[in-house]
Structure 1
């Protein structure tokens, strides 16, 4: 299948999934905004008002919204090949189509939540500027990270269904270990801080979003460049795996 046809098919299926999901809910597309707002308000109530962490709503939103993009994409993609079992038995569609479709379904919802984040940023007194264009490289790299992790997660669940439970637990660990509720600057030891952003790309990305929106600073471009290169290599390798092991994955899914 040509790449253009593959992407067109992903786009159509993602849009159909969005309409189908929205039609099942009373508030329909409004949930795209309500869900992240309710998540952040809950954490604001617990961590700021009750526990006194001293973080305002914008700080939490700037971390939670990008994290939700990542976690929802990975969780929905992890079981996508298994859920596409009936289609696999009828057609020879590339196996990576299923995680791609889930990633893009979440992606199409995400632009609304980022618009809400921009609006809240203005409310807090941080006016839009050309500096905000540095968000674009962050979106690109985070998309690459999401795609790579989603493709790998779908492979793991295809071979061992129980790994989906581990993936869900990992999302919980990442939520508390990626700086959504606390600032990386609170880590006094520079070595520990460097290890965290090196082995947890989400921690670096969430802090970089705050650099652009709240601090008016430019994040570490050198780090972003290396991260993009590593992710690009990873994507090439995982696509090669899908190309040569796709039939094995399909057989595993169909026969299990």
Structure 2
């Protein structure tokens, strides 16, 4: 079995295990995001009437993109330490463990994205050719997730306290990623600083495509790729260099 087959089987096993643990099985992948979207619609759309009728799809688009990033990075960051028993028994490239978590979350994200598209259509938005731009947007965010997921997975076995730092940093990052407000509302003098956060640009790209029927800014996508490449290269080199040290760290 080659590494690609191991990766695919790992993703399949992870998804199958998650289904087996839940009473409703794979239906929960559909029910959970529907409940999630319905809650935000009831609270912000009907109860608070926050930001007008356009605010609910604006908010949901940001939350869907963010939850994919947040959940994937959190799970990938501890993937090596969570597989300590297997690592001590046989040799498996350590980068496969975070990748399994990332691609499992990506599969679930695509289901949620389809539900978001249905919700956007339900609200009266009309699809256009611009929606095909979701493909490069999704791949750009996946590249970003892989970069930071692998980086954290590589480092946390050497410094377990880093996990708490990651959890708090992601919480802070959620409020600084433009989920609840647009960068356009910020003064020009500080907007550039806000947009250094790659997730600000990713969330804006989804909104540009889905809500405004426009092409995303290619420069923003290239910036995200540029930001993600150094940590990805470092992570791959670091994991390769320490492949034989990880089992010893798990003792």
Give the structure-1-normalised TM-score.
0.89
For 1:167 and 1:233, how far apart are their aligned partners in 2?
19
**RMSD value, Cα:** 1.9
Q: Deviations over 1:5-32 (max 9, x none)?
A: 2222111111111111111111211221
What is the deviation of 1:47? 5.0
Name the CA distance, whole Å, in 1 between partners of 2:160 and 2:207.
36
SS of the residue corresponding to residue 68 of structure 2 reads helix
Name structure 2 gaps, 5 residues minimum: none
| Structure 1 partner of 2:205 | 208
C-alpha separation between the residues in 2 aligned to 1:233 and 1:169?
Answer: 23
**Do structure 1's residue 195 and structure 2's residue 199 form an aligned pair?**
no
Higher mean alpha-carbon deviation, 81-90 vs 42-51, is at: 42-51
Whether the 8 Å CA contact 1:47–1:181 is kept in 2: the answer is: no
CA separation of 1:127/1:52 partners in 2, compared to 1, >3 Å: closer, same or farther?
A: closer
Counterpart in the other structure of 1:223: 220
Distance in 2 (alpha carbons) for counterparts of 1:163 and 1:116: 34
- In the TM superposition, 1:108-127 aligns within 5 A as 108-127=107-126
Give the CA deviation at 1:42. 3.9
CA deviation vs aligned residue, 1:168-196 (integer Å, no higher than 9, x gap)? 22222122111111122111x22311211
2:146 aligned partner? 147
TM-score by length of 2: 0.91
Query: 5 Å matches for 1:241-256?
Result: 241-252=238-249, 254-255=250-251
Alignment of 1:21-60 (within 5 A): 21-46=18-43, 53-54=50-51, 56-60=55-59
Give distance in 2, aligned partners of 1:60 and 1:220: 20
Unmatched 5+ stretches in structure 1: none
Q: How does 1:21-100 map to 2 (within 5 A)?
A: 21-46=18-43, 53-54=50-51, 56-100=55-99
User: Matched residue pairs, number?
Assistant: 249
CA displacement at 1:49 relative to structure 2: 5.4
Contact between 1:14 and 1:101, CA under 8 Å: does it hold in 2? yes
* Mean CA deviation greater in 175-184 or 227-236: 227-236
Change (3 A) 1:167 1:48: farther
Distance 1:212 1:236 in 2: 30
Please give the alpha-carbon distance, in whole angstroms, between the structure 1 residues aligned to 2:220 and 2:204.
Answer: 12
2:143 match: secondary structure? helix
Shift in CA distance, 170/233, structure 1 to aligned 2, threshold 3 Å: closer
Work out the CA distance in 1 between the residues paired with 2:183 and 2:223: 20
C-alpha change, 1:46 and 1:124, in structure 2 (3 Å) is: closer
Contact persistence 2:151–2:231 (CA under 8 A) = no
Tell me the equivalent position of 2:175: 176
Q: Is the 8 A contact 2:198 2:227 kept in 1?
A: no
